[in-house]
Copies of this chain bind each other. A is one copy, B any other.
C-alpha cells in the first residue's frame, strides 16, 4: 500500500488558480465530508427539477450538462473533466434547471452542499475560488451561445475541438496536439447544435483540409494555432491568463 493523495486534492489545485489558499484552507477543503461513487455511462448526476443535496467533483471520466427542448432537441452546454466541480451551478440554487450526466464511466466525489456553503463563508479564500469557478463556467456558457448562434458548422466544430484541447491540456489530461474525445458524433451534434450527419461531414472536411485527423474516439490536431484560426478561437473566455501560477 503506497501513499495516496487525499481524494479532494483536485479541488485544492483548482481553487488555487483563483485565490491564494493557506494551510488551514487546504486542510478544511480536504476534510470536507464526501462519498466516492462510480457512475455508469449516461448515468444522471443531477436531473432538471431535482433539489440537489450534493455537489459533485469529477475524479475521472467525463460528464456534460444539457437541457432538452419541447421538440425533443437536446442542447449540451459544457463538457466536464477531472477536477471540475460539476454541479455547483445546480446545487447552490434550490432547484436544478438542467441535467448533468456522465459521458463516460465516471468516478466522482459527492459533497454535501451545506458543507460547501459553510466553508465558502468561513474561509473567504475558498469561497472566492468557488465563486470564480462558477463564473468561469458562466463564461463558457456565453461562448457556447456565441458559437451556436453566430458561427457556421465548420468554425463551430473547430472551436469546440480547440476548447477541449486547451482545457485538457490545462488540466494535464491531454495536449493541444490531440486527445481522447469520448463523444459520439450525435453527442457532438448536441453540443454544436448540428445534426449528427452534418457533424460527420464537417469533421470529414476538417480532416481533408488537413487540420485534424481522427480515429473513432480520438482527435489529432495538426497545428493548434491553425485550427484556432479556423475556429475563431480566442482563449480569453477561459480566463487562463487570469489564473495564478501553480504554487510550488
Contact = CB atoms under 8 A, between A and B. Distances in A.
Interface of A: 48-49, 65, 67, 69-71, 73-75, 77, 89, 92-95, 97-98, 117, 120-121, 124, 127-128, 131-132, 134-139, 141-146, 148-151, 155, 193, 232, 236-237, 239, 241-242
6 closest A-B pairs (Cβ-Cβ)? A149-B193, A73-B150, A121-B124, A70-B232, A138-B138, A94-B242
B237 A97 contact: yes
Instruction: Report copies per complex.
Output: 2
Contacts of A95: 236, 239, 241-242
Mostly, the A contact residues are helix
Contacts of A128: 117, 121
B132 A77 contact: no
Nearest to A117: B128
Contacts of A236: 48-49, 95, 97
A48 B236 CA distance: 9
A138 B141 CA distance: 7
Contact of A93 (B69, B136, B149): B136
